[in-house]
Amino acid sequence: MPTIDHAGTYTLGDRQVRRLGYGAMQLAGPGVFGPPRDRDAALAVLREAVSSGVDHIDTSDFYGPHVTNQLIHEALSPYPDDLVIVTKVGATRGEDASWNPAQEPAQLRAAVEDNLRNLGLERLDVVNFRIHPGHLGRDEHSIADSFEAMAAMQAEGLIRHLGISNATPAQVAEARAIAPIVCVQNQYNLAHREDDAMIDELAADGIAFVPFFPLGGFSPLQSASLSTVAARIGATPMQVALAWLLRRSPNILLIPGTSSVSHLRENLQVADIELPDEVIGALDAIGTDQD
């Protein structure tokens, strides 16, 4: 069994969680839409994650929609006392599997209620407000109305802690001026390091940073460089990318996703991977590689 304790822990709100978590997005059908190809296999992955020591699961009711939350409820309820379920709101799915913004206060409340119902909870541990991307990626605009609605639901007791996702530094600051946040969930990896300064600032304030797409957006040269390093130390590229993230900063929490028990075990093994200084240097250089 993977020894994920070797990756250490970090504070998420008022809970200590292991830095290796699990992201449930891939449990839904193709394109994160519809039911899984193998429902029993999806349930087995969730149970294996928790039995392996994972105490931090990332999900959303717009995965499916509703699919991953219903699977989590079926597989794990009644939930272990130490399990933290983090969800997100800010989008809906169209009948054509499209991802559509749902950022208005009434839409956010409906999403929170959907998450509560499908997870079988009376209060959500952590809810990330996910800012809908513009056509060029992150879209710099005020999120005050939306985040004030999130803070109001927290005051009502529907949400324990708040986070924010797909946010610029200005939007993180705007959210923090409205209510405390416990995590930021953004794309960040070896090749995309726009949030380097943000990670360090959040670490200084005891706020977790949760990167998604650990292998997303790599150029062919960057992918080849990563594969070369991985072969040198006898690991997979995904394992090396995750191990680098663990090494990058102590406030980074990982949520690698998979629908396979064997791949889950492979991901959790990164806690035991040690990266020598010369390997770190080669990995750091990937961020400067070009096509």
> Per residue in 55-73, pLDDT tens?
999 999 999 999 999 999 9
The structure's pTM equals 0.96
148/64 Cα distance (integer angstroms): 27
Q: Give the pLDDT confidence score for residue 290 in this predicted structure.
A: 63
Is 63 a catalytic site residue?
A: yes
Residue 174 in tokens: 């705007």
Q: Give the pLDDT confidence score for residue 133 in this predicted structure.
A: 82
Q: What is the pLDDT of residues 66-95, one digit of tens each?
A: 999 999 999 999 999 999 999 999 999 999
Among residues 10, 63, 79, 188, the one annotated as catalytic is: 63
| Residues in the chain with pLDDT values less than 70 | 1-2, 134-137, 290-291
Is residue 12 helix, strand or coil?
strand
Residue type, 19: R
